Amino acid sequence: MGILELEGMEFHACHGCLEHEKVSENLFVVDFRAETDMRAAALSDSLEDAVDYGKIYDTIADVMNGGHADLLEYLAGKIVKEIASGFPQLLSFSVRVSKRRPPVNGTAAWSRVTLTYPDTVSA
């Protein structure tokens, strides 16, 4: 087994429940972590035997840059569903979506949601 991670993927997008969040971009950061069998790739040095993390990034970017979402939970859930259907070789994985300076009545640098597969969201 092995761990595949993509950390700190940055997207400027308009997601959120409040009206100003629907028109003003904010910084969102997505972190991805998966457990997968890496034995074949470790022996072959061949992309065909590995999970193509470039395609995982593209899948995440498509969701983050796609239509508006009110909730971080919805964004994370949509990413999980897309990755689960596009990368069936992944045994389990998590997606964390973070939003810079969330609109709260005080100081908060980030709000974050983490969903896991297969525990919380099915494909």
Q: From first to last of its 123 residues, what are the pLDDT tens digits of the chain? A: 899 999 999 999 999 999 999 999 999 999 999 999 999 999 999 999 999 999 999 999 999 999 999 999 999 999 999 999 999 999 899 999 999 999 999 999 999 999 999 987 665
Picking from 34, 25, 11, the residue whose alpha carbon sits closest to that of residue 84 is 34
Which amino acid appears at position 109 of this protein? A
Amino acid 61: pLDDT: 98
Domains of the chain in start order, with CATH, are 2-117 (3.30.1130.10)
Amino acid 95: pLDDT: 98
- For 3, 47, 51, 71, 109, the CA distances from 39, given in Å and listed in that order, are 12, 12, 12, 37, 39
Interior CA angle at 15 toward 116 and 118, to 5°? 10
Q: pTM, whole model, 2 decimals? A: 0.93
Q: Is 99 a catalytic residue?
A: yes
- For 22, 103, 105, the CA distances from 56, given in Å and listed in that order, are 26, 29, 35
Q: Which of 22, 55, 81, 99 is catalytic?
A: 99
Which amino acid appears at position 65 of this protein? N
Amino acid 92: pLDDT: 95
